[in-house]
Amino acid sequence: MRVIDANANRVGEGLRTLEETARFILDDAELQFHLKTLRHDIATAMTKVSRVDLLSARDTPGDVGTDATTSSENHRVDLGDLVAAAAIRVQQALRCLEEYGKLIDSDFASELERIRYRAYDCLARIELRCRRDLKRIDRLRNARLYALIDAGRSQSDLIQRIEELSRCGVEIIQLRDADIDDRTLYERACAGTRVARDRNVLWIINDRADIAAAADADGVHVGQEELPVAAVRSIVGPDRLIGLSTHNLDQVRGAVASAADYIGCGPTFPGKTKSFSEFPGCEFLKSVTSELKRPGTRSLPAFAIGGIRSDNVDQVAAAGFGRVAVTGAFAIDSPADVVADFHKQLNRVPLY
Interacting residues with ligand TZP (CB under 6 A): 148, 266-267, 271, 273-274, 305-308, 326-329
Footprint of ligand LCLJCK34 on residues 281-320 (CB under 6 A)? 303, 305
Among ligand LCLJCK34, ligand TZP, Mg ion, none, what does residue 303 contact (CB within 5–8 Å per kind)?
Answer: ligand LCLJCK34
**Shortest Å distance, C-beta 349 to ligand LCLJCK34:** 17
**Shortest Å distance, C-beta 222 to ligand LCLJCK34:** 6
In our burial notation (b when 16+ CB lie closer than 10 A, e otherwise), range 177-208 reads: beeeeeeebbbbbebbbbbbbebebbbbbbbb
Backbone angles phi, psi at 21, to 5 degrees: -65, -50
Q: What is the DSSP letter of 25?
A: I
Report the candidate in 191, 11, 199, 202 with the shortest Cα–Cα distance to residue 96: 11
Task: Give the chain's end-to-end CA distance (angstroms, integer).
Answer: 56
Among 7, 32, 206, 345, binds ligand LCLJCK34 (CB under 6 A): 206
Q: Which residues lie across from 172 on neighbouring strands?
A: 146, 202
Binding mask 226-255 for ligand LCLJCK34 (x = CB under 6 A): x----------------x-x----------
**Shortest Å distance, C-beta 317 to ligand TZP:** 16
**What is 143-199 written as a DSSP string?**
--EEEEE---SSHHHHHHHHHHHHHHT--EEEE--SSS-HHHHHHHHHHHHHHHHHT
Q: By CB under 5 A, name the binding residues for Mg ion.
A: 207, 223
- Known binding residues: 206-207, 226, 245, 274, 307
Contact positions vs ligand LCLJCK34 (CB under 6 A) = 146, 148, 174, 176, 206-207, 221, 223, 226, 243, 245, 264, 274, 303, 305, 325
